[in-house]
A and B are shown apart, each in its own frame.
Chain A
Amino acid sequence: MMPDQLLKIDKLNVYHGSSHTLQDIDINISNRPKAILGRNGMGKTTLCSALMGLTKAASGSVFLDQTDISSYSPESRAKTGIGYVPQGRRIFRSLTVIEHLKLVEKKDSRWSIEKIFSIFPRLAERRKNMGDRLSGGEQQMLAISRALMLDPKIMIMDEPTEGLAPTIVDDVVELLHSLAEHEIGLLLVEQNISVALEVASDILIMLNGRIVDQVTAEELKSNTQMQQKYLGINFA
């Protein structure tokens, strides 16, 4: 069973120069997948990067499975169990698909290269291709696989469906659903409201560096007023 509190973010603050990018962020993530919705420039990517330790937080703490990882380096956070799928995928352009997987291969991981290839036969086909020769969808599959191979407790995914064709988006959504079966927590950051609603049970709304609302997916689905107010879109 997954613990009740997988990831706990407590009063996290980040500054970029004089601008206060993240303001007193409090988030608790249990075994239910959570999504953060918000438009561009609201601080979503900064949050992911701060959780990974790549952006320095001015104050606040982060606990992973009851361990305080606030002072951990990015590499220690990864080892403690955060799988990071960054915005723009950040595939290593001079590594082949198979090299990406070999890079993060671990002996005692639940995820082997064969297992990844059985989930994503497309990656198996393109195993010898360089990172910069892959399509957006293939890159995304690889980025997710790369994080999974580390056998994480929780995945932090920054806009995994950005720029993907609709059929591929469906594949990614399906995969995200299956994370729960493997007892992997999920913090999904999205602009695509339909993906967020489909994958996550709880939705956090981010506006100007703050979490301004927390609703269930059901609530948000029916509340078009809220959608317009925070996200400026109509969900059809």
Chain B
Amino acid sequence: MTTPETLTPIAADVVVPSSLTTPRAGGFAGWRHLALVTESVPATVGLAIVLAWALLALLAPLIAPYAPNASDLAALARPTPSRAHWLGSDHLGRDLLSRILWGARPVLVIAPLAVLGAAALGSLLGLTAGYYGRWIGLVITRACDIVLSFPVIILYMIILAHFGSSAWNIIGVLTLTKAPIIARIVRGMTLDLREREYVAAAKMRGESSLYIMLVEILPNARGPLIVDMCLRTGYNVIIIGVLGFLGIGLPPPDPDWGGMVKDTYGMMMVWPHMALVPCAAISSLVVGFNLLAVGLRELGLRD
């Protein structure tokens, strides 16, 4: 995206959408991007879903009708949805709605944090590999290839079963396994961008390599990165759910969507709602992130 400031000398016959040229009242740049997102239907729907979940997670302590780990013994006999428990309760008589709301919090913190970690580490590796080339580049790309060739789910099982599972360990393994993919993308773009005039100009000015990589090259590689980060966040939500389902996710008893399915899917024949509710929650959140990514890519191609 080019910013309006650089667009000022506009040829008379070029029609620029007004949303790009006239700054909105308040002058906050974010609104302009938001207005752009609403031009794509998938992006709007995706963003709405993600924001709705973020809001619910944020307000969980206020709006959740029960404490997430509190058992209602009266609900044990009839755990199906009722007036007291809108979505029903689980096998221990805990309110499903409250657990779903509270369960949104760890997911929405861990998934983006892991993506940011992977983006930071991956960008650094990709920039270094692309900018210096030669053997540093070769070592980094080969190391990335090795990590990428490993079936990730088996890697997660080995690492998490060995070191125990906690939020930080999950962020750690997600960062380590996703960084090589980002590194590959950034390296490809760096190889192209480092030959540009403005990089040569910065070299001429005597800027350090670090400055050139971070200030001159990285900002120009952000477009594909943002779309990719959206997709990664969705995948991370899936993986956090899968880890919970396999029993190597966030430790109980605090609500974790994947773990809730693991605890109750054995009772599918009797109480299907116990597993269906968390499955619906996790699916809708991932659909939100992926629709947002599809929409953003569409918008990117249009420019």
A binds B: no
The interface of chain A, by Cβ under 8 A from chain B, is none
